[in-house]
Structure 1
Amino acid sequence: MTAGHVPVAVVGGGQAGLSVSWYLGRAGVEHVVLEAQTPVHAWADTRWDNFTLVTPNWHCRLPGYAYDGEDPDGFMTRDEVVQWLAGWLQTFTPPLRNHTRVSTLRPLAAGGFELTLATATGEEVLTCEHAVVATGGYPIPVLPAFAASLDGSITQIHSEQYRNADQLPEGAVLVVGTGQSGAQIAEDLHLEGRQVHLAVGSAPRVARFYRGRDCMTWLADMGLYDKAAPEYPGGKAAIEKTNHYVTGRDGGRDIDLRRFAVEGMRLYGTLSDGKDARLTFEPSLRHALDKADAVYNSILSDIDAFIEREGLGRSVPPATRYSTVWEPDAEVTELDLAAEGITSIVWAIGYRPDYRWIEASAFDGGGRPMQNRGVTEVEGLKFVGLPWMHTWGSGRFLGVDRDARYLADNIIDAHQRKSALESSALRASAHHHLAVAR
């Protein structure tokens, strides 16, 4: 076990942690970035083959670097995102330590933190004055408790493990969850000709394009991605909802679950229980579809109001609304996997936080960091890259730069104040010794 000290330790080498590093490096603040694997590995390792961004390419901005390709209103594929990030990493040289996992982080009584590092060569101890946690908001995939009691012949994977239809055994597939990943994986399997059964959750949806522009471009112009979380319409309940489902595939389009049903996809309400080959669903499908469509049309109304306020009506296509193309005849509440030929399940019901390695009183009852723009009440402990850390743009490419700059400035200011105090103390000491010598 070896020991060392650095003023700032950034835990996590994804785009958020490296963005903080970019600003610290520019200011000449000594620091280290500790990455358990390799930089931005998650983009290559946890996205499916046909993954695309759901936000337009022009949203992609990082410190000193922005998308400048030929399709700013398009949607980069997984491989294009990996390539774009690789280009960013060529523009600077962060003090990065790959394959270095932080197993514990604890505050020291005298101030600062002690980090225990697990490396390929053993264990190390590092101390620092500032610790920036950039490990992502929700790293642990969620599976229901009853998953283990299902028939062992059924292949079960989490959405982060899904790559393509061919990795699953022949037969029908049940996708559970309709957040962004679940809805897009269901679409991917559907387009590959698989019989898809989809357990529909409470996620809302949004139109891809409206009145001649991408809806997210309209929302950006309306300032919604810049509005601080406490000021966001709908308050805490609104910001804790699952993100709206939509896709950037094939140039971008709506995800319409009702249309999928017309084309043969089988839809159900929320999956509530299961054992062996039998599953139970809540009778919530009709309500979930109606609510998602209501949100869809509500967003269109908000855009219409903005267009009216800005006097843009004559320069854009007329207003429209979504009307349903399918209604469930009855709510199916029980399903026999074997009878339906379902051989695999893709769980897309989200992730949970896991900060058990941080021994500090900085978390609420749900294990989420208590922070204000990433700054906690624990002196020197900060977070970056969290969804809704400051705005709707936080946790996305659109907001990472701003959040990282704010935290880096906070650290730089503290570093400069400490340096000034130390210089003042040295000068006072020098004057004292000179006076004694005289």
Structure 2
Amino acid sequence: MSDYDYDLFVIGAGSGGVRAARVSAAHGAKVAIAEEYRVGGTCVIRGCVPKKLLIYGAHFAEDLKDARRFGWNVPDCDFEWPVLRDNVLADVDRLNKAYTHTLESHDVEVILERATVSGPNEVTLASGRTISAGRILIATGARPHVPSCPGHELGITSNEVFHLEALPKRVLIAGAGYIANEFAGIFNELGTKVTLINRSDVILRGYDESIRDRLLQISMTKGIDFRFHAEFRGITKNADGSLKVEMTEHEPIDVDCVMFATGRVPNTDGLGLSDVGVELDEKGAVKVDAYSKSNIDSIYAVGDVTNRMQLTPVAIREGQAFADTVFGDTPRTVDYDSVPSAVFSHPPMAGVGLTEGQARMKFGSIKVYTSDFRAMKNVLADRNERALYKMICDAETGKVIGLHMIGPDAPEILQAAAVAVKAGLTKQAFDDTVALHPSMAEELVLMK
């Protein structure tokens, strides 16, 4: 019999925490998981899943216009934001129940209240109840960062955007990362006038320069207004309820909504971690080793709260590796090399491996192959938007060390191609593969 109430207590029922709890229980551990909001975490409740559904909904704006070129007599259509919003939220409810059922069916006790760490082997619930555990796993994720400018409380973040009562006619989005560009595309397609401001003149820092420049060019053509070298001076409410935003280097602008998309902060505030000696970095993330263990032997952390790589599939891998290591007697670590990622912008972009700049820094001598083309559907739709695929290879070995693309269905195509990059295949292996024609993906094996 264990000396503790549970073998494992997980704080946070997001993607990483749910996977760790479920697999640990399958290994025979007695597990409980605490969640103060809803089971599913950022990705399922207020992130990737509802956002992707909004992206599907927004893309109909272009699809309906294009349909006329394909012979469909599509009339001018009105868009009803409450219908899309409520249907998306209903699917979130479904997923919340599904995740809860998954945990309960694996004999994981779900505790719907806030939990904090009160000792190396103890947590305290909001109700005051204390629980002992052999291991404690922190999986509390991250939250949107909000700049501390005057009037910041008048803005919203990606958490609140799914609950807007009405679609704003004018929106200002602060930031230039994937969240900012994705919602800029969503709002723009739905008919909102979008202004995106950023402190620097670079969008999507860390992505390949050619690909992100293509997105900037297309986004501007679609009507999104970019204001660079702009920092908030303040936000005030006008008499008509609109918001006046003042910023450096640019004239003030009146909008109906301000959305902050300026990064995410690990959720460690008020968890009691520092009180029990857990080391945090300068951003508040839990410092962990390759096995997700903190400096306290009984306390672990996975997912965005560690700020290693803030991606849902990575958090799931970390949760799985933790469970296998600690309760499955099979030590595992996560390989962070060649992790594919995507930006679900309009059009979407995706990449895996090194960017051209990173490859030149690391290898010196590289070869870059590109395909710059108009998708067949765009040609008939009389849409001038061009796709760009880019393959980066080690000049000496021919090994593909980076693959980046922007265009229709880029994330779907990149997922399969990422297997080849992860496997260390060469450009010759792509060349030796017969093209699947006619498709956009065939450009991967035809690049010169």
Q: Give the TM-score taking structure 2 as reference length.
A: 0.53
Question: Cα distance 1:349–1:41, how it changes in 2: closer, same or farther (>3 A)?
Answer: same
Q: Secondary structure at the match of 2:133?
A: strand
In structure 2, the residue matched to 1:197 is 195
Question: Cα distance 1:190–1:404, how it changes in 2: closer, same or farther (>3 A)?
Answer: same
In structure 2, the residue matched to 1:213 is none
1:375 Cα deviation after fit: 1.1
Pick one of 298, 318, 322 that aligns with 1:380: 298
Pick one of 313, 327, 337 that aligns with 1:412: 327
Letter of the 1:280 counterpart: M
In structure 2, the residue matched to 1:362 is 279
Consecutive unaligned residues in structure 2, runs of 5 or more: 55-87, 237-243, 331-448
Pick one of 251, 256, 262 that aligns with 1:349: 262
Given that residues 8 and 31 in structure 1 are in contact (C-alpha distance below 8 angstroms), is that contact kept between their aligned partners in structure 2? Answer: yes
How many angstroms apart in 2 are the aligned matches of 1:132 and 1:201? 36
In structure 2, the residue matched to 1:261 is 220
In structure 1, the residue matched to 2:76 is none
Higher mean Cα deviation, 19-28 or 272-281? 272-281
Given that residues 173 and 194 in structure 1 are in contact (C-alpha distance below 8 angstroms), is that contact kept between their aligned partners in structure 2? Answer: yes
Letter of the 1:190 counterpart: N
Given that residues 39 and 98 in structure 1 are in contact (C-alpha distance below 8 angstroms), is that contact kept between their aligned partners in structure 2? Answer: no
Letter of the 1:96 counterpart: E
1:135 Cα deviation after fit: 0.9
Q: Secondary structure at the match of 2:51?
A: coil
Given that residues 48 and 162 in structure 1 are in contact (C-alpha distance below 8 angstroms), is that contact kept between their aligned partners in structure 2? Answer: no
Q: Secondary structure at the match of 1:186?
A: helix
Question: How many matched pairs?
Answer: 280
Pick one of 106, 110, 114 that aligns with 1:101: 114
Pick one of 177, 180, 189 that aligns with 1:179: 177
Question: Cα distance 1:149–1:35, how it changes in 2: closer, same or farther (>3 A)?
Answer: closer
1:157 Cα deviation after fit: 1.2
Letter of the 2:155 counterpart: Q
Matches within 5 A, 1:4-403: 5-40=5-40, 42-43=42-43, 45-47=45-47, 51-52=51-52, 90=101, 92-107=105-120, 113-118=121-126, 122-136=127-141, 138-139=142-143, 141-148=144-151, 156-163=155-162, 167-169=166-168, 171-200=169-198, 256-275=215-234, 276=236, 277=244, 279-281=246-248, 333-337=249-253, 341-355=254-268, 356-357=270-271, 358=273, 359=275, 360-373=277-290, 374-386=292-304, 395-397=311-313, 399-403=314-318
Given that residues 173 and 195 in structure 1 are in contact (C-alpha distance below 8 angstroms), is that contact kept between their aligned partners in structure 2? Answer: yes
Given that residues 203 and 244 in structure 1 are in contact (C-alpha distance below 8 angstroms), is that contact kept between their aligned partners in structure 2? Answer: no
Given that residues 114 and 127 in structure 1 are in contact (C-alpha distance below 8 angstroms), is that contact kept between their aligned partners in structure 2? Answer: yes
1:197 Cα deviation after fit: 1.1
Higher RCO (Cα < 8 Å, 6 or more apart) = 1
Percent identity between the two aligned chains: 17
Q: Give the TM-score taking structure 1 as reference length.
A: 0.54
1:386 Cα deviation after fit: 2.9
Question: Cα distance 1:270–1:352, how it changes in 2: closer, same or farther (>3 A)?
Answer: farther
Letter of the 2:247 counterpart: T
Question: Cα distance 1:85–1:361, how it changes in 2: closer, same or farther (>3 A)?
Answer: closer
1:9 Cα deviation after fit: 0.8
Letter of the 1:129 counterpart: G
Letter of the 2:257 counterpart: S
1:344 Cα deviation after fit: 2.0
Letter of the 1:188 counterpart: I
Please say which structure displays the higher CA radius of gyration. Answer: 1
Question: Cα distance 1:336–1:178, how it changes in 2: closer, same or farther (>3 A)?
Answer: same
How many angstroms apart in 2 are the aligned matches of 1:349 and 1:401? 24
Given that residues 19 and 319 in structure 2 are in contact (C-alpha distance below 8 angstroms), is that contact kept between their aligned partners in structure 1? Answer: yes
1:370 Cα deviation after fit: 1.2
Given that residues 44 and 79 in structure 1 are in contact (C-alpha distance below 8 angstroms), is that contact kept between their aligned partners in structure 2? Answer: no
Given that residues 204 and 242 in structure 1 are in contact (C-alpha distance below 8 angstroms), is that contact kept between their aligned partners in structure 2? Answer: no
How many angstroms apart in 2 are the aligned matches of 1:382 and 1:265? 43
Question: Cα distance 1:16–1:37, how it changes in 2: closer, same or farther (>3 A)?
Answer: same
How many angstroms apart in 1 are the aligned matches of 2:134 and 2:300? 11
Given that residues 116 and 125 in structure 1 are in contact (C-alpha distance below 8 angstroms), is that contact kept between their aligned partners in structure 2? Answer: yes
Consecutive unaligned residues in structure 1, runs of 5 or more: 55-76, 108-112, 207-240, 248-252, 282-332, 416-438
Q: Secondary structure at the match of 2:149?
A: helix
Q: Secondary structure at the match of 1:382?
A: strand
In structure 1, the residue matched to 2:444 is none
Q: CA RMSD in A?
A: 4.0
